[in-house]
Structure 1
Amino acid sequence: MAASSPPLPAGATAEPLEPARVSGWARDDHRAAFAIFARGCQAEPPLRASVPVPAALAAVCRQAGRLASAGPVGPHAARRFFERHFSFWRIRPPAAPTGFMTGYFEPEFEGSLTRSDSYPTPLYGRPPELVTRLPGDDWPGMDAALSAARRTATGLEPFHDRTAIETGALDGRGLEVLWMRDPVDRFVLQVQGSGRIRLPDGSVTRLVYSGRNGHAYTSLGRVLSEREGIPPAEMTMDRLIARLKADAGFARDLIRLNRSFVFFARRDDLPADSGPIGGAGLPLTPLRSIAIDRTVWPYGLPVWIDATLPDGDGGMGRLARLMIAQDTGSAILGPARLDLFVGSGARAGHRAGLIRHPVDFIVLWPTEPGRP
């Protein structure tokens, strides 16, 4: 029986492939991808809800976990596992020949657990009245574009946008989890969705995504590129940050064009060498974890990518390997759109900011669940 293709939004296409036709497949380190996959499709509950994990995928995730717990899985066995339990499908978005990839990272900033003149910018925890729209939720009378709302005595209402929050909408409620040096650092942290904060005593606290206000995300890089005539390919995250840091008033006004506002929680239990927690609720692995559109794809899905990307040192290199979908993002929209987790720190941030490239996006869709 022919394998069933994955469900896709209108206009997108799925081309079946044999593994032998996937360039670079035989040369990958399948053990690395298998080890990540075997940790599970998602935590329960995940940090950010996605479309439900299909029963077939959940079954294969569990089987991988059992194999991993029984002892080391060698490279050949890991490769055969994916070939046996998945069919391969090249995904093409509507009106485009390939997918599109950006990069993200876990930044580190200076901050404090107490407010001061050096650290005046608050970072907020999730307000208790914030309600996140889950896939399939129907909110009559609410803008369909809103992904969250606030619960009131009379029903749901749009949550405060960024400008309202920055001008005091949440003041006096004790929601601050820490303070940062300036709104630009906070903006970068909110774009990346997680981070490390180095406190004045030298210790580090970890931050994980805890929700957002539900308003649409606006790319400030795109806005600045259009306003100042900068070619999109030259509008890197480094260039955007430098422009924002140079003029506090300009930064305030530009940042407020992005009405989306992200909330965080502290996770001091995370090991220092662990990756940040992605939307699936599991630690991310550099250059193996990706963020996908959570309204199209479930967490835990293996995805083969093939792209030529900046190496961060002025050169370009091919990245062809098996990834695991473990995260999502407000700007990651579409069936062949992905965000590559590059790593932690400034070097990873520099490379991540350079990535805006076409990518061959091949989904591994589960078949024959539970086969031994």
Structure 2
Amino acid sequence: MVAGAACAALVLTLASDDVEARRSGGYSHRHLRHVVRAPPVLPFEFPNAQYVPVAWGDVAGWRDDDQLAAFNAFRNSCAAIIANPASAETKTLGRSLVEPCREARRHHPATTEAARAFFEAHFVPLRISKLGDVQGFVTGYYEPEVEGSPTRTDVYTVPIYRRPSNLFVRGYSQSSTNLPNKGQVFRKIGRRKLVPYYDRGEIEDGAIAGRGLELCWLKDQTDLLFIQIQGSARVRMPDGSVTRLNYDAHNGYPYTPVGRVLIDRNIIPREQMSMQRIRQWMEENPDGAKDLRRQNRSYVFFRKVDLAADAEAVGAQGVHLMAGRSIAVDKALHVYGTPFFISGALPLESEQSPSAFHRLMVAQDTGSAIVGPARADIYFGAGQEAGRVAGRLKNGADFTMLVPKSMDPRAGEHTVWLPEPRPAAAIARFDVGKTDSAGPDLTKSDVTKSDVTKSDVGKPAVAGTDVTKTEVTKTDVTRAVAGKSDVARPKAAVSGSPGANPPAATNSAATLVAEVPLPAPRPDALKLDPSSPDFIGPIRPQRRPSPDRRPRQ
């Protein structure tokens, strides 16, 4: 009976919505009709990210920045973008930066206003953050300058290694110059066997010493640790020459921030944490520094690069970084060359007095610790002062990503298909008309699915009761079908009964329920009902004869 009443409610819904359905083109004559729709222009999606388009006037500090400096950084990235557009095909923005780059190569703005107009003409601003977060997060990095030696001496005893020949990454040749900065790394034993590469502790203990891998030598392990964290270095030799080093590979272990270890061990309070404070503690505690370094099992290998002594470092995109305008981003999500406008209060001058920061920057580098859609490492240049500024940054900031207009997500907001209404919601709500004065008042009756399913066994409905409160049992259905009783249907709603007045409205719930054919009873239903006059006692199930024997005669 529950299924039958649910069907009645569905019929009522179809009847009341038939005209509207035909107008909307959903179906005709109760048959669904195939509607040909144009393919939608779907907005793009960043994994684990949320974004919203904003107006240029709503980007705080946009008109206070020097976009001319950012334009020059963007043009530097454009050379690599145009030369190798296929490298970005797997990213969300794909090749969309190619067209703005071609325009940038043809433009030569001489003023900040002209550069600002270029970005406003070719990009749309999107406020972006990690899913569930209000802001992004920024840190700083720099290029250390240290003293070193091309050979081992009594003073310079710590080697900087180049990539070993037995270091192997699946999917890459051992001579590749573009190994990933994350993921598993192995060492080959013999021709086929692969095992995880040595960790920091094993390498510091001499696992790869004496194999001619030393590029140069430093004074202490703390200098090497910070060079590996930053990813590049300028090593000044005793003769005054400078050797430039850049990241080349890693040993496959995830990076563990040593600052976090010090905070977790309650050695340095979180509010006092900085690169300078870490270095100070390590210099004052050489034994503790050894254990601290080994908590970070990651180890970085370098290569020499042919750069002038005063030239800026080269980022992962392969272009020279620009201090204050280049950022490192998550290369798994973002395309190198993407402009980001970052605004917030950052401790550039001192830790105690943050200053306003509103600057357009360009993604030109990456790092293994830079993960997420609104995560950036700001490049501050080379030297001790740049290191002091970079070491203070660990702040929240607003990220506005500049997206090429060809990828404007607002273009497809009116073509995205909306889901069909849920049938349950349509069944659960409909209006019922009025009946005559002799029958029950159905003006305010609402027949819902819950009313149908909440049957009260043993309380059959009688004439004159409210249809919305009518409780029907399985036995009532059986008796009604057998013709023994009309108790399952209110008299006001049973067509053809003596003295019954016709309903005033054709869409009354009682009329529609009465007109819905009830399911046929099971053949044994009357025989199994003790209250039935035709009850003849329980029926024993007949035993099916075996195929290999004849039934008894």
Q: Which residue does 1:61 correspond to in 2?
A: 101
- Given the alignment, which residue of 236, 248, 258 partners 1:198? 236
Aligned residues of 1:50 and 1:297 also touching (Cα < 8 A): no
Task: Return the match for 2:319 from 276, 282, 290.
Answer: 282
The one-letter code matched in structure 2 to 1:230 is I
1:22/1:134 CA distance change after superposition, 3 Å: farther
Which of residues 104, 111, 117 in structure 2 aligns to 1:80? 117
8 Å contact kept, 2:89–2:95: no
Do the aligned partners of residues 290 and 302 (structure 1) sit closer, same or farther apart at CA in structure 2, a change above 3 Å counting? same
Task: Report the residue type matching 2:385 in the other structure.
Answer: R
Aligned to 1:101: 138
Change beyond 3 A, Cα 1:57–1:164: same
1:121–1:6 CA distance, 2 compared to 1 (3 A)? farther
**Aligned-partner SS, 2:390:** helix
Which residue of structure 2 aligns with residue 167 of structure 1? 205
Q: How has the CA–CA distance of structure 1 residues 221 and 36 changed in structure 2, closer, same or farther, with 3 Å as cutoff?
A: same
| 3-state secondary structure, aligned to 2:77 | coil
* CA distance in 2: counterparts of 1:361 and 1:192, whole angstroms: 23
1:320 deviates by: 0.4
Cα pair 1:233 1:356 within 8 Å, conserved: no
- Contact kept? 1:51, 1:297, Cα under 8 Å: no
Once the 2 structures are TM-superposed, how far is the Cα of residue 50 of structure 1 from its aligned partner?
11
- Kindly tell me: are residues 221 and 132 of structure 1, through their superposed partners in 2, closer, same or farther at Cα, counting changes over 3 Å? same
State the Cα distance separating 1:148 from its structure 2 match: 3.3
CA distance in 2, matches of 1:78, 1:39: 15
What SS does the aligned partner of 2:205 have?
helix
**What is the aligned-residue RMSD (CA, Å)?**
2.6
Partner residue in 1 for 2:402: 364
Inter-CA distance 54–150: structure 2 relative to 1 (3 Å threshold) = farther
Q: 2 CA distance for matches of 1:50 and 1:228?
A: 45
What secondary structure does 1:368 align onto? helix
Which among 288, 292, 299 is matched to residue 254 of structure 1?
292
Q: Could you list the per-position Cα deviations for residues 233-254 of structure 1 after superposition, in whole angstroms to 9, with x for gaps in the alignment? A: 2111101011111222211111
Alpha-carbon contact 1:312-1:350 (below 8 Å) kept:
no
DSSP 3-state at the match of 1:335: coil
- Please give the secondary structure, in 2, of the residue aligned with 1:228: coil
Alpha-carbon offset, residue 45 of structure 1? 8.2
**Residue aligned with 1:169, SS:** coil
Task: Give the direction of change, closer, same or farther, for the CA distance of 1:91–1:131 in structure 2 (3 Å limit).
Answer: farther
Contact 1:15 1:89 in 2 (8 A): yes
Partner of 1:240: 278
Taking the TM superposition and a 5 Å limit, the aligned residue runs for 1:149-160 are 149-151=186-188, 153-154=191-192, 156-160=194-198
Match of 1:21 among 38, 58, 75: 58
Structure with more relative contact order (C-alpha pairs < 8 Å, separation 6 or more): 1
Whole-angstrom CA distance in 2 between matches of 1:158 and 1:19 = 50
Taking the aligned partners of 2:289 and 2:206, their CA distance within structure 1 comes to 18
Does the 8 A contact of 1:38 with 1:62 survive in 2? Answer: no
1:70-108 per-position Cα deviation (integer Å, ceiling 9, x unaligned): x45433332122122222111121332110111111111
Q: 1:312-331, aligned counterparts within 5 Å?
A: 312-313=349-350, 315-331=353-369
Distance 1:123 1:49 in 2: 32
CA 326–155 in structure 1, closer or farther in 2 if over 3 Å, else same: farther
Whole-Å Cα distance in 2 between the matches of residues 103 and 259 of structure 1? 22
Please report how far the alpha carbon of residue 161 of structure 1 lies from its aligned counterpart in structure 2 after TM superposition: 1.3
Q: Residue 332 of structure 2 aligns to a residue in which SS?
A: coil
Larger Rg: 2
**Structure 1 residue 132, shift from structure 2 partner:** 4.7
- Closer, same or farther: CA 316–133 of 1 in aligned 2, 3 Å: farther
Amino acid at match of 1:350: R
2:307 corresponds, among 249, 267, 270, to 270
1:184-195 alignment, distance < 5 Å: 184-195=222-233
Match of 1:39 in 2: 76
1:129-144 alignment runs, 5 A limit? 129-132=166-169
Which AA in structure 2 matches 1:333? V
Structure 1 letter corresponding to 2:316: G
Deviation at 1:3, TM superposition (A): 9.2
Q: Is the 8 A contact 1:306 1:319 kept in 2?
A: yes
The aligned counterpart of 2:248 is 210
| Distance change in 2, residues 1:122/1:3 (3 Å) | farther
**Any residues of structure 2 matched to 1:292-303 within 5 Å, and which?**
292-303=329-340
For 2:327, the aligned partner's letter is I
C-alpha contact 1:103 1:355 (8 A) present in aligned 2? yes
Q: Structure 1 residues 363 and 131 mapped into 2: Cα distance closer, same or farther (>3 Å)? A: farther
Residue 164 and residue 229 in structure 1: after superposition, are their counterparts in 2 closer, same or farther (change >3 A)?
closer
1:146·1:158 contact (CA, 8 Å) conserved in 2? no
Deviation per CA, 1:48-84: give whole Å up to 9, x if none.
Answer: 99965721113322432x225xx45433332122122
Offset of residue 160 of structure 1: 1.6
Instruction: Flag the structure with higher helix content.
Output: 2
CA contact (8 A) 1:49 1:294 kept: no
Q: What do residues 99-147 of structure 1 show as CA deviations (whole Å, max 9, x unaligned)?
A: 0111111111111000111000000112233345689xxxxxxxxx734
After TM superposition, the score normalised by the length of structure 1 is 0.87
Equivalence for 1:140: none
Q: CA deviation at 1:204?
A: 1.6
Match of 2:266 in 1: 228
Matched, 1:291 2:291: no
Identity rate of aligned residues, in percent?
A: 43
The Cα of 1:368 is off from its aligned counterpart by 3.0
C-alpha separation in 2, matches of 1:123 and 1:307: 37
Of 306, 317, 341, the residue aligned with 2:379 is 341
Could you say if the C-alpha distance between residues 292 and 3 of structure 1 is closer, same or farther in structure 2, counting changes exceeding 3 Å? farther
Compared CA separation, residues 329 and 3, structure 1 to 2 (3 A): farther
Q: Distance in 1 between matches of 2:101 and 2:193?
A: 39
Structure 1: gaps spanning 5 or more residues: 136-144
Q: Which runs of 5+ in 2 are unaligned?
A: 1-39, 173-181, 408-553
